[in-house]
Amino acid sequence: MHINLPLEHKPKVIAYSAIFLSILVLFVPVFYDLFLTVWNSDTQSHGPIVLGIGVWFFYFKTKQILDKPQIFKPANLLGWTLIVAGICLYLVGYSQSVYIISIFSLVFVLCGLICIIFGPHIALKYWFALFFFVFLIPWPASVIDALTQPMKIAVSYASEHLLYALDYPIARSGVILQIGQYKLLVADACAGLNSLFTLEAIGLLYINVINHQAFWRNVLLAVLIVPISFTSNVLRVCTLALITYHLGDEAGQGFLHNFSGMVLFLTALILIIAVDALIQKLAEKFNLKRLLSQD
């Protein structure tokens, strides 16, 4: 039976309660373990930030769907099949401390709940909200080390040349920068996968919230997030180097060092918005507006 529910009768309480209880009962222990282990390291400290953004976006998407009249077609069989499959994955992953499987099972459970409450056609509208949780998956240490080292060298190289162009006494040896009498190590947290993952997640979230009509415009922004995140990392390293040079090593390693991480994400978000606006301006200038505003 298909029912077009008016706004006042939409099952908000059921939807929010089911989603909240599933996360509380099944996945809080997993996230608690991640907080104590994997997310407590510099290389994958982006996890809590991505988790907070993912929960907010899931709520945002649910509210967006419930605020419009919808025809709900619950699929109990499909929903329970996904939930059972997700619980089986969860039990295997959690019992063996394989967090990749545990987090992947979250997607199955949430998708199953959506199918039971709203139906498969509504579940498709959640695709990005479910995909977003992929950024929570902790990568193996071997993969992180292999990818992080070239990124650190590239960030160190760019930071050295930028500060040298500004007439600062700076030299580089690998990933170690010497500015004046101070030596700074470009650590994983300053130029590794953690910042790239977080910035990519923030950028994709911006693209999905703005939701440009043109597919290619969204793809172009997604691709440009990588150089934007690299630029943000370079600016962060340069900022810390200048703080250390002018205010001393204690200032560079204290509160300002931690605060620079927040500045990094703010800078990246501003750059993403600026690049998006630049694409719009160039499209208007070269009469490509039609291409970038329609599918």
DSSP summary character for residue 187: -
For residues 232 and 98, what is the distance between their CA atoms, to the nearest angstrom?
Answer: 32
* pLDDT tens column, 176-208: 888 888 888 776 656 556 666 777 777 777 777
Contact between 243 and 252 (Cβ < 8 Å):
yes
Position 254 pLDDT exceeds 80: no
The model's pLDDT over 68-85, given as tens digits with 9 standing for 90+, comes to 777 778 888 888 899 889
Catalytic residue at 190?
A: yes
Single out the catalytic residue among 115, 190, 217, 238: 190
pTM: 0.66
Q: Which of 217, 215, 226, 222 is nearest to 280 (CA)?
A: 217
pLDDT at 295 over 60: no
Longest CA–CA separation in the chain, Å: 75
Contact yes or no for 106/86 (Cβ under 8 A): yes
The per-residue pLDDT for 6 is 46
**217 noted as active-site residue:** no
Spatial separation of the C-alpha atoms in residues 179 and 171, rounded to whole Å? 7
More confident residue, 293 or 55: 55
Q: What is the DSSP string of 111-178?
A: HHHHHHHT-HHHHGGGHHHHHGGGGGSPPPHHHHHHHHHHHHHHHHHHHHHHHHHTT--EEEETTEEE
- Rounded CA-CA distance 38/35 in Å is 7
Least Cα distance to 83 among 122, 116, 124, 47 occurs for: 116
Kindly tell me the burial class for residue 69, based on how many C-beta atoms sit within 10 Å of its own C-beta (0-12, 13-18, 19 or more): exposed
Higher local confidence (pLDDT), 31 or 284: 31
CA angle 163, 160, 148 (to 5 degrees): 135
Query: Are the beta carbons of 43 and 193 closer than 8 angstroms?
Result: yes
167, two tokens: 């007439």
* Whether 225 contacts 216, CB under 8 Å: no
First to last CA, the chain: 34
Q: Which of 115, 217, 236, 238 is catalytic?
A: 236
